[in-house]
Amino acid sequence: MKEKLLETDALAEYKKAHKNNYEQRLIREKELLEKEQADEIASERIKKEQAYKQLQIEKDREYSLQYYHEINGIRRANTVSTDDGSPMLSNYTERLISSPHYTYMSDGAPRGILGDGSRVSFSRRIRDFFSSR
């Protein structure tokens, strides 16, 4: 009988002594698991951000190419030749986006250089340009 009592006391003491260690180990394992999950989520988020940035870069590149081709495809309806034979653009926007070998119109140049020679508003020219496409 004494032996049984001593055994249970020894077992209780063992449980008591190692209960703290067991709880600390469980807490450490839980923290480690949470840290691993947080790292995994962070790495997934970084991968998604990089994929999104790459997608944006590709979209921007595609848009730039389309814009470049649109600009280069502009019809030079407003181009006039000067006395020396060099082309001169009458449209301010075309002069901005065109190559540098074009010259600006002089201040004394006639204002109605469009096809019919009439004064057409800027908004009308833009509307006509985009409606012809």
Residues 16 and 60 in one domain: yes
Task: Decide if pLDDT at 1 tops 70.
Answer: no
* Cα 87 off chain centre by: 38
Q: In which domain, by residue range, is 118 found?
A: 79-131
Which pLDDT does position 80 carry in this prediction?
56
pTM across the whole model: 0.38
Do the Cβ atoms of 71 and 97 come closer than 8 Å?
yes
Q: What is the rounded distance in angstroms from the CA atom of residue 89 to the CA atom of residue 81?
A: 9
Residue % of the chain over a pLDDT of 70: 56
Are both 34 and 61 inside the same structural domain?
A: yes
Q: In angstroms, rounded to a whole number, what is the distance separating the alpha carbons of residues 120 and 16? A: 96
Instruction: Give the pLDDT band of residue 63 (cuts 50, 70, 90).
Output: confident
User: Do residues 89 and 34 share a domain?
Assistant: no
Q: For the chain, first and last CA: distance in Å?
A: 104
CB 94 within 8 Å of CB 74: yes
Closest CA to 97 of 119, 117, 68, 125: 68
**24 and 54 share one domain:** yes
